[in-house]
Chain A
Amino acid sequence: MIRFLGSRVLGMLVVLFLVTLFTYVIFFVLSPDPAVQICGKNCTPERIEQIRANLGLDLPFWQQFWEYISGLFTGREYVVAGAVVTCPAPCLGYSFQTGQLVSEMIVQRLPISATIAIGAAILWLIGGLIGGVLSAVHEGRFTDKFFAGLTLGAMSIPNYVLALVLQFVLVVALGWLPFPQAVPFAEDPGQWFLNFLMPWIVLAVGYAAVYTRLTRANVIETLQENFVRTANAKGLSSSLVWRRHALRPALTPIVTIFGMDIAGLLGGAVITETVFGLNGVGKLTADSISSNDQPVIMAVTLLSAFFVIVGNLVVDLLYTAIDPRVRTAARA
């Protein structure tokens, strides 16, 4: 088990390093010179040279990359307009456009992204499981066909279109929901909840469809297994068969996907946050792209990769804990 964990962590670090390198190369090679951007309009070649020297942009590629990597672990210092800015570890860089440390910008926004992700996850998990189990129970009948059509539609509607439709119908046409206003939870929990309701629904719809299909397929498959047949044959009540024998193996694979999906969303739901103007990490990504704020884009990419890769590892461990078959395989 420890060897398994060790090799997984090592593999994770290698992938993270490669992601960092890959991202860094792309920005190093392709992006316009940040010194020119910082310098602004009244710029002289000497001034640009000075900025480049301050930022270490005149150093060779490997040295710059090394500074970035070591900054992640030990922190680093930036000279900004004559003053020294310390960036403690893990230093994700300094945004010259906003004059803020990138890690601070992200930490401010992370709670909003987490709120969106978790709220949506609760919705889609409940919706997907109920829809999937109902479809499986009524396989081939009306309920099954109804959910099949519904999931096809839900999978096909782009979330920004759904967001606009919902806003138009619920806010403008019917007036059921108030216009979203930024309110902290402590101030007005009711308004806070209503604000997040639409983003949650919009984000959850696509996932709920995928979970419905997955649950349906898994439950149908499990019901045909020999151990379920045995349980039925030895006269267990059908509710006991469901709870003890059918649901657990059917739902185990869902744990894997669920963990991965949440991890993926912690890096920010770019489109949903942008459409609803929620200041999460995803909105930060979109904003920094339109202003070409490279340290931020770089940091957000890294952060998302980090969440996905760590999520992957955590899910693998959870999976081993839940499913006895995997546990024995990992031990062998």
Chain B
Amino acid sequence: MTIPSTVIEVEATPGGDPVLAESLESRPAAGRKLLHGFLTDVPAMLSLGYIVLILLMAIFAPLIVLVSGWGPYEFDQTAIDPNMGAIPLGPFGGISAEHWFGVEPGSGRDIFARIAYGARVSMTVALSATFLTTILGVVFGLLAGYFGGWIDTAISRVMEFLMAFPALIFMIAILSALPSDNRIVLLVVVISLFGWPYLARIVRSQTLSLKEREFVESARASGASGAHIVFREILPNLTSTIVVMATLAVPGYIGTEAGLSFLGVGVVPPTPSWGQMIAAAAPWYAVDPMYFLIPGMFLFLLVLSFTTLGDRIRALIGSSEVRA
């Protein structure tokens, strides 16, 4: 049973949605080949390395800060020059053995510590939002695709409605209207609310084609329940799609969180976030470029790594299916 493979394309296929096809018999062999291909792929490995580094930095931020010596909320008045408009002392934004990435102009807070704590916000928001959108997208996509009828109509209408929304402006509006008690949870909820239809749409269309296949029909003929068919027969065939979509969703959410924080409606000070740091650095760009370059670089590399990783996984799955 060999089925022609297709590319899992996110938005690039207006009109015709992709159909997932996978050879079921050669699953273990294909899996090994996939893993080997993945481990020998240089861009994928570099990206994964950077992501792991940032994850470790986020998890162990309190410990790392103990080693580096300065916490994210401590002001170091000795590192800035009060006579020069409080710009950092020393070259490159005050980079020294004392302050590894220099200090913030004006306040003298340690940039390294704020980067480490900012990684926590980025990762928490992006990974939680990805988790939530994946669950919502898979559940609603499966429901709409498998059951069809009025369930499909209702879910599809809601998805169209959410996708017609000017999401960024609306997120800004909601976040500015809501009280600012727990911004991180709020960010995750708002991002997920507008994020899930993009995954659900693809899960739905693949479910539509999968449910017509022989193995689903034979399961149904042998008396399997609807839940069994959905979770045991259809869902496993969607795994690679879901993995790719989820990986490619993460950079979008990292960017959204940073952008919202940059605009001042995301994470509120004093909690550090990369986007917020860049916003704070903007007025200083001419006198202290390191202040925006450091968080900008971390943010850029993280988004780039997740995008590259998602791209490589997609390419590898695509090519292994062709060969299988």
Contacts and interface: CB of A to CB of B under 8 A. Distances in A.
Contacts of B8: none
Given A164-B296, A297-B173, A158 B303 contact: yes
A290 interface: yes
Given A23-B173, A152-B308, A217-B9, A160 B166 contact: no
B258 A164 contact: no
B168 interface: yes
A280 interface: no
A285 interface: yes
Given A217-B9, A289-B264, A15 B161 contact: yes
A268 B169 contact: yes
Contacts of A26: 173-174, 177
A301 B12 contact: no
Q: Which 10 A-B pairs have the closest CB atoms?
A: A304-B166, A156-B304, A161-B296, A156-B303, A289-B176, A31-B177, A30-B177, A164-B292, A172-B286, A304-B169
B263 A275 contact: no
B311 interface: yes
Nearest to A255: B14
A122 interface: no
Contacts of B319: none
29 contacts: A19-B165, A23-B173, A26-B173, A30-B177, A30-B178, A30-B179, A31-B177, A152-B304, A152-B308, A156-B303, A156-B304, A156-B307, A172-B285, A172-B286, A214-B12, A217-B12, A253-B15, A256-B14, A264-B166, A267-B166, A270-B168, A286-B263, A289-B176, A289-B265, A297-B173, A304-B166, A304-B169, A305-B164, A305-B166
A54 interface: no
B263 A289 contact: yes
A18 B37 CA distance: 48
Interface string A29-42: 01100000000000
Interface of A: 15, 18-19, 23, 26-27, 30-31, 152-153, 155-158, 160-161, 164-165, 167-168, 171-172, 213-214, 217-218, 253, 256-257, 264, 267-268, 270-271, 274-275, 285-286, 289-290, 292, 294, 297-298, 300-301, 304-305, 307-309, 312
A164 B173 contact: no
Contacts of A15: 160-161, 164
Interface string B276-302: 001101100110010011001001100
B163 to A, nearest CB: 9
Query: Which secondary structure dominates chain B's binding surface?
Result: helix
Interface residues of B, number: 45
B259 interface: yes
B272 interface: no
B73 interface: no
B307 A161 contact: no
A108 B272 CA distance: 36
A171 B285 CA distance: 11
B279 to A, nearest CB: 8
B172 A289 contact: yes
Contact of B300 (A156, A253, A301): A156
B283 to A, nearest CB: 10
A186 to B, nearest CB: 30
Given A161-B300, A285-B172, A297-B176, 11 more contacts: A27-B173, A152-B307, A158-B275, A158-B300, A164-B285, A257-B14, A270-B172, A275-B282, A289-B173, A309-B164, A312-B164
A307 B166 CA distance: 9
Interface of B: 9, 12, 14-15, 160-161, 164-166, 168-170, 172-174, 176-179, 251, 255, 258-259, 262-265, 275, 278-279, 281-282, 285-286, 289, 292-293, 296, 299-300, 303-304, 307-308, 311
A8 to B, nearest CB: 12
A264 B255 CA distance: 18
A158 B296 contact: yes
Contacts of A164: 278, 281-282, 285, 292, 296
A285 B289 CA distance: 27
Nearest to A294: B177
Contacts of A270: 168-169, 172, 263
B303 A271 contact: no
Contacts of B15: 253
B265 A160 contact: no
A290 B175 CA distance: 11
Nearest to A271: B259
A247 B8 CA distance: 23
B161 A301 contact: no
B166 A308 contact: yes
A18 B296 contact: no
Contacts of B251: 156
A113 to B, nearest CB: 12
Nearest to B307: A156
Contacts of B161: 15, 18
Contacts of B14: 253, 256-257
B176 A292 contact: yes
A304 B304 CA distance: 29
B31 to A, nearest CB: 26
B177 A168 contact: no
Contacts of B165: 19, 305, 308
Nearest to B251: A156
A18 B165 CA distance: 10
A271 B177 contact: no
Contacts of B281: 164
B105 to A, nearest CB: 14
A214 B34 CA distance: 26
Contacts of B174: 26
A158 B164 contact: no
B304 A153 contact: yes
A45 B165 CA distance: 39
